[in-house]
Amino acid sequence: MTAEKIPIGAFSDVTRLSKKALYCYEKKGLLVPVERDICTGYRYYTPGQIERGIWIGSLCSLGFTLDETARILSEEDRNSPVVQALLKDRLRQTQGEMQRLSMVERVLLADDPFEELFKMELQNWTRKEIPPIRAMTIRGEGPYESLLTRLIGKICTEIVSPDNVRNGARAVGPIGSIYVGEDCDETGGLVEVVLPVAGILTLSDPDIEVKTLPAVTVISVLCKGPYRNLGLAHKRMYTYLEENTLTMSGPPREYYLNDPAETPEEDLLTEIQYPVA
C-alpha cells in the first residue's frame, strides 16, 4: 500500500464506514474510488477522500438521505439557501420524532396505556355548506405522517416568502388535507394539502399551485386529541353516514385548528369534513 492509494479495508477503518456503505456510496456517485483493480475488483481511495467519507458518514448519522447528503456536499457554501433549507427540514423532522417518542413514553407510563393510547373526543356534529375556497395546494403520495409534515412545511414556507409577504398574501383559514387517492390504506396514499389564501401570490415551488376548491355540503365533526387517533374519528364518521343514510360525494377533508408544535397532543383540534350528496 502506498500513501497515495488506500485499500478499501484500510479506508473503511479510518473513516469508520463499512465496506457495504462504501459500495453504496460508490453506486450513488457520492464517493467513488480512484482506482479499481480490473482482475480482483479491489478498490483504492486517496487520503484526500477521507474527509469526504467522514462528511458523508456524519450527515447520514444526522438522518439525511443520500440524495440530501449529495446536495449538501455539492454546495461550496455551507450557508447557502439550499443547505439551510435542508438543515431546517431535518430539524423539523427530528422535532417531530422527538414528540412522537415523548408520546410513546407518556402512554407507556400511564396507569392504563391502552386507554391513553386511544383517547379521542368528538363534538359539534353538524351539516353545513362550505363555499368555494381559493387555496394554495400541493399533492404527494406516501405514509401519511411524514408526507403531511413535508407538504405542510412546503406550503408554510411558500406563504411567508419575501415576495408573498411584500404583496400582502396571507392565509385566511386553517391548513388542511384532502385524501384524494382511491387506493389509500393504513400505510398512506395520495394526499392534497390545502391552505385558504387571499392576496397576490408568487409561487417559487413548482409543486404548489393556486386553485379554487368547489362549494360543497359536508357533515362535520370536531375531534380533540392526538392525530394518531384520527382514524377512530373517521371510523365513527362512516358509522354516522350509514346510520343517517347519507352518501359521500367526495373525498374526506381534515383541517388542523391549532399548532402541534405549541399544543399538547391531547388538546389538538381537528375538524373532519365528509362531503355528502
> Is the residue at 138 inside a domain?
yes
Which residue type is seen at 175? I
Pairing of strands 133-142, 170-171: unpaired
Q: Tens digits of per-residue pLDDT, 182-219?
A: 655 555 678 999 999 999 999 999 999 999 999 999 99
> Is residue 102 located within the same domain as residue 124?
no
> Is the residue at 82 inside a domain?
yes
> Is residue 156 located within the same domain as residue 268?
yes
For the chain, the domain total comes to 3
> Is the residue at 218 inside a domain?
yes
Instruction: Identify the pLDDT of residue 2.
Output: 55
Q: Provide the whole-model pTM.
A: 0.61
> Is residue 101 located within the same domain as residue 169?
no
* Phi and psi angles of residue 147, each rounded to the nearest 5 degrees, phi first: -65, -50
Instruction: Identify the pLDDT of residue 142.
Output: 83
> Is the residue at 31 inside a domain?
yes
| pLDDT exceeds 80 at position 121 | yes
Q: How far apart are CA 32 and CA 212, in angstroms?
A: 49
> Is residue 137 located within the same domain as residue 236?
yes
| pLDDT exceeds 60 at position 6 | yes
**Which residue, of 84, 117, 150, is where some domain finishes?**
117
Instruction: Identify the pLDDT of residue 163.
Output: 93
| pLDDT exceeds 90 at position 22 | yes
> Is residue 139 located within the same domain as residue 106?
no
**Which residue, of 85, 117, 149, is where some domain finishes?**
117
> Is the residue at 14 inside a domain?
yes
> Is residue 203 located within the same domain as residue 266?
yes
> Is residue 123 located within the same domain as residue 210?
yes
> Is residue 129 located within the same domain as residue 264?
yes
> Is the residue at 1 inside a domain?
no
> Is the residue at 28 inside a domain?
yes
> Is residue 151 located within the same domain as residue 262?
yes
> Is residue 167 located within the same domain as residue 40?
no
Write out the three cell numbers for 200. Answer: 397576490
**Which residue, of 101, 117, 133, is where some domain finishes?**
117
Write out the three cell numbers for 255. Answer: 383541517
Q: Tens digits of per-residue pLDDT, 84-120?
A: 999 999 998 898 788 778 878 877 888 888 777 677 7
Q: Tens digits of per-residue pLDDT, 38-82?
A: 878 789 999 999 999 999 999 999 999 999 999 999 998 888 999
> Is the residue at 261 inside a domain?
yes
Single out the residue of 77, 66, 79, 81 nearest to residue 29, CA to CA: 66
Q: How far apart are CA 162 and CA 158, in angstroms?
A: 9
Write out the three cell numbers for 104. Answer: 410513546
**Domain membership of residue 211 as a residue range:** 119-275
Q: Tens digits of per-residue pLDDT, 215-272?
A: 999 999 999 988 888 888 999 899 999 999 999 999 999 999 998 888 888 889 999 9
> Is residue 128 located within the same domain as residue 245?
yes
pLDDT band at 3 (very low <50, low <70, confident <90, very high): low
Instruction: Identify the pLDDT of residue 187.
Output: 57
> Is residue 108 located within the same domain as residue 139?
no
**Are residues 32 and 71 in contact, defined by beta-carbon separation less than 8 angstroms?**
no
pLDDT band at 154 (very low <50, low <70, confident <90, very high): very high
What are the CB-based long-range contacts (under 8 Å, 24+) for 166-172? 167/199, 167/200, 167/201, 167/202, 168/199, 168/200, 169/197, 169/198, 169/199, 169/200, 169/201, 169/202, 170/197, 170/198, 170/199, 171/195, 171/196, 171/197, 172/196, 172/197, 172/198
| Mean pLDDT on 157-162 | 93
Q: Which residues lie below 8 Å from residue 28, measured CB to CB, with a gap of 6+?
A: 66, 70
Instruction: Identify the pLDDT of residue 107.
Output: 78
Check which CATH number belongs to the domain holding 250 and give it. Answer: 3.20.80.10
| pLDDT exceeds 60 at position 1 | no
Instruction: Identify the pLDDT of residue 172.
Output: 94
**Are residues 30 and 70 in contact, defined by beta-carbon separation less than 8 angstroms?**
yes
